[in-house]
Structure 1
Amino acid sequence: MYRKRAMYMAFVIALLTGRCTYSLGDGGYDLSQFRESAELSSVPDELRDIVPTNGEAARSISAQNDGGDLRFVIIGDTISDDNRTFRTFLGEIAALDPRPSFIVHLGDRVVSPVVDYYGTYLKTISDPPCPILHVDGNHDVREEGERISRAFFGDKDFFFDRDDMRFVFMSDVHGDGDFGFSREQLGWLEDKLKAPSPSRKFFFAHVPPKAPFKRINPGLSSLFTPRLENEGEFLDILARHNVVLAAFGHRHVHASVVHNGVLMIITGGGGQRNFLEPAVK
């Protein structure tokens, strides 16, 4: 009985989430070469330098190391009809005074067919108001998305320093559909956080850990946030090294909680539709 009920619930969720389709619009870059050639893993010559890699964006942000105040924007899950919502956000960010130093995109910028939606997304960010740093979302690494993401954005796990702050970015999504961090990734994270300087450390990934956000996981919605691989060790590393902020996307809700001294937030959907998510006060 329980198994049948679980299968029914999974079917309903699949049916609803399968309806997350969006109009594509015209004018995106042609990335069809990634569809035609499974071996293609680099940017085609005609599209070279249309957007900076994560490494290039990070270096440009670090170069602004002037000791002044720092403003940055966190956004995620931005796919919408014609990218209309995200384009509106970019316009609002451009109008801010002072303008933020950078934008963190927490992932899920495309849906299937990934090649076509990625072409539209890259066109949308070809003239951004400030550098954009990209974290992989689970939708972004499906189909040809892993190769496209690596070709245009480079490293999926990276960091940079600015003044007395360290910003660490990691991918906790995998092509097999599992979420979490490998032992090798956790060793890398430990190494990047253990130094006493810079003293203020910030962390960014797509899928949030389950334990800190129990209050937004009632009933069916709990299936959207499975426990991450090696979640306990991951949370322990953040706490031991006094991470100031850990930001996640994936769930299309706004939520914040202090967990073992670490402020953890879910940024909410940046345009993507919201199915079966609870209201969070």
Structure 2
Amino acid sequence: MLIVQLSDPHVRPEGALYQGVVDSNAQFAGAIAHVNALDPRPDLVLLSGDLVDHGQDDEYAMLARMLEPLEVPVLAIPGNHDEREAFRRAFAGKPWLPAEGPIDYAVGDHGVVRIVALDVTLPGLHHGVVSEEAAAWLDEVLTAEPARPTMVMMHQPPFATGIPYMDPYSCREGQRLAEVVARHPQVERILCGHVHRFMQLRFGGTILCTAPSTTTAIALQLRGDARPASYIEPPAMLLHHWREGRGLVSHFVPVGTFPGPYPFA
């Protein structure tokens, strides 16, 4: 099973630039074209939050137009730049979308790997939290299929990255999440977005990774006094490949065309 993870496209209304600098829509369109060109064709695309930049209906209308050419089924969660009810209107009719409350759901009909979406966003705030209610819901959902390989998707990562201008906006109560996940060894990955960078660590007895953005890369600055900064690096995505008997391998994949192929390896 092949699962693409795209994150933080920050779609804008037509003609508007992200932060007045980057054509995030063109970057996202390029990522969608890249997914459609993959061989073999992926089974599923995950969108791990910050789908639009300001949570506005015209941005979600643009997002819907941009997703039309995608030839692969999509599952999505909101990020801190999304607006939950506008998000719900944008994906109205999707069988995985809950009618009210957080955008929490579990889907297992696209292949062997089950996807559990955990909405840790707090409307109007940039940090997230794993509430007691969310942890109990996740524990119940994971208990229902203990033998099924599973990926948990959320937006804000529940750990300190070391980037001083990002960590105040992480997901709080990460230990609560880690305690739940540790009880369920079928969880192969926890997938996050938010930080516009690829990061990986052990968490709750499994592997947690964050996806790069299709728009900009937040600067990796680990000095405590570092000032906020970003770069226009090549957009990228993650490709998660499950095979029976081997498990899950996650690949970092730059989006675009590059010199090659050359006849060596």
Query: TM over 0.5, yes or no?
Result: yes
Give 5+ residue unaligned stretches, structure 1: 1-69
Query: Equivalent of 2:78, from 133, 136, 159?
Result: 136
Residues in 2 aligned to 1:113 and 1:149: alpha-carbon distance in whole angstroms: 8
Which residue number corresponds to residue 270 of structure 1?
214
Q: Indicate whether 1:149 and 2:87 are aligned.
A: yes
Write out per-residue CA displacement over residues 203-242 of structure 1, whole angstroms, 9 at most, x where no aligned residue.
00000002xxx4x3144443343x51x3211111112101
**4+ long deviations beyond 4 Å:** none
Query: Equivalent of 2:34, from 83, 88, 92?
Result: 92
Query: Equivalent of 1:116, from 47, 58, 63?
Result: 58
Residues in 2 aligned to 1:152 and 1:115: alpha-carbon distance in whole angstroms: 8
The number of residues matched between the two structures is 199
Could you say what secondary structure the match of 2:45 adopts?
strand
Query: Equivalent of 2:128, from 161, 179, 183?
Result: 179
Give 5+ residue unaligned stretches, structure 2: 11-17, 92-96, 223-265
Residues in 2 aligned to 1:253 and 1:147: alpha-carbon distance in whole angstroms: 27
- Does the C-alpha gap of structure 1 residues 196 and 82 become closer, same or farther in structure 2, counting only changes over 3 Å? closer
After superposition, the CA RMSD in angstroms is 2.1
Could you say what secondary structure the match of 2:108 adopts?
strand
Quote how far apart the aligned CAs of 1:118 are: 1.6
Paired-residue identity, %: 22
Residues in 2 aligned to 1:164 and 1:123: alpha-carbon distance in whole angstroms: 30
Q: Indicate whether 1:73 and 2:20 are aligned.
A: no
- Does the C-alpha gap of structure 1 residues 174 and 89 become closer, same or farther in structure 2, counting only changes over 3 Å? same
Q: Indicate whether 1:160 and 2:132 are aligned.
A: no
Residues in 1 aligned to 2:165 and 2:81: alpha-carbon distance in whole angstroms: 21
Q: Is the 8 A contact 2:51 2:82 kept in 1?
A: yes
Which residue number corresponds to residue 235 of structure 1?
178
Quote how far apart the aligned CAs of 1:176 are: 3.4
Could you say what secondary structure the match of 1:194 adopts?
helix
More helix by share: 1
- Does the C-alpha gap of structure 1 residues 241 and 119 become closer, same or farther in structure 2, counting only changes over 3 Å? same
More strand by share: 2
